[in-house]
Amino acid sequence: MIASVSGPVAALAPTTAVIEVGGIGMAVQCTPETLAGLRVGEHARLATSLVVREDSLTLYGFADDDERQVFEILQTASGVGPRLAQAMLGVHRPDALRLALSTGDEKALTAVPGIGKKGAQKLLLELKDKLGSPLGSSGLVGRQRAVAAGPAPWTEQLAAALVGLGYASREAEEAVAAVTPQAEAALAETGSAPVPQLLRAALQTLNRAR
């Protein structure tokens, strides 16, 4: 298993970072938030999990070892593959997922694209005791800390991801404004803005503008 990769960032794409390791470019699938923290040419270290299939080898990357561990535990639930597990971490940080599962918060789970009400109920049954409580917290204090550890506002996440992909701050702001109606509709329906889908929509508006 490839537990981590470390080296200069050679390239960034909407869902992938290329990390140069010993002269070899390793393509790593990452969440928008992880990608937003990377810059081409700068050194980076990502915790990784290698998913082996008959026709593919896919490397998933994470900001830290805790994210990777949660990613792997999520996949022990029936029907949860690496893409859905990554989507869950794209919407919620590890402690927010721990809180949702330990408190039976269906709404938090259905905020993840691809998870409906029945799927959320199934995940709560299968994963409730597997992730444990939010790290270093308990009771009301733990609940407050987990909320504080939740994802940044979607506008900040999206703008940071676009800047990380090489767009100017002005272009990023214009793209965020262009997808705001889509984000507001999602917030009204599910209570969460799906950053990965918004990033794709923002990139489409930027490509049309060029």
Spell out the domain ranges in the chain.
4-62, 66-148, 154-209
Calculate the average pLDDT of the chain: 83
Mapping DSSP to helix (H, G, I), strand (E, B) and coil, where does residue 178 land?
helix
48-83 as b/e, with b when 16 or more CB fall inside 10 Å? bbebeeeeeeebbbbbeeebbebbebbbebeebebe
Q: What is the pLDDT of residues 59-118, one digit of tens each?
A: 999 999 999 999 999 999 999 999 999 999 988 888 888 888 888 889 889 888 889 999
Comparing 92 with 152, the larger pLDDT belongs to: 92
How does DSSP classify residue 14? S
156 pLDDT higher than 90: no
In DSSP terms, which residues pair with 56 in a beta bridge? 53
Query: Quick one: CATH architecture of 4-62?
Result: Beta Barrel (2.40)
CATH of 154-209, one of 1.10.8.10, 1.10.1060.10, 1.10.10.10, 2.60.120.10: 1.10.8.10
Identify the top-confidence range among 9-18, 93-102, 178-187, 194-203. Answer: 9-18
Q: What is the pTM of this model?
A: 0.66
Burial tier of 209 (Cβ tally within 10 Å: 0-12, 13-18, 19+)? exposed
Q: What is the pLDDT of residues 37-54, one digit of tens each?
A: 899 999 999 999 999 988
Are the C-beta atoms of 16 and 24 separated by less than 8 Å?
no
Tell me the fold of 66-148. Answer: DNA polymerase; domain 1 (1.10.150)
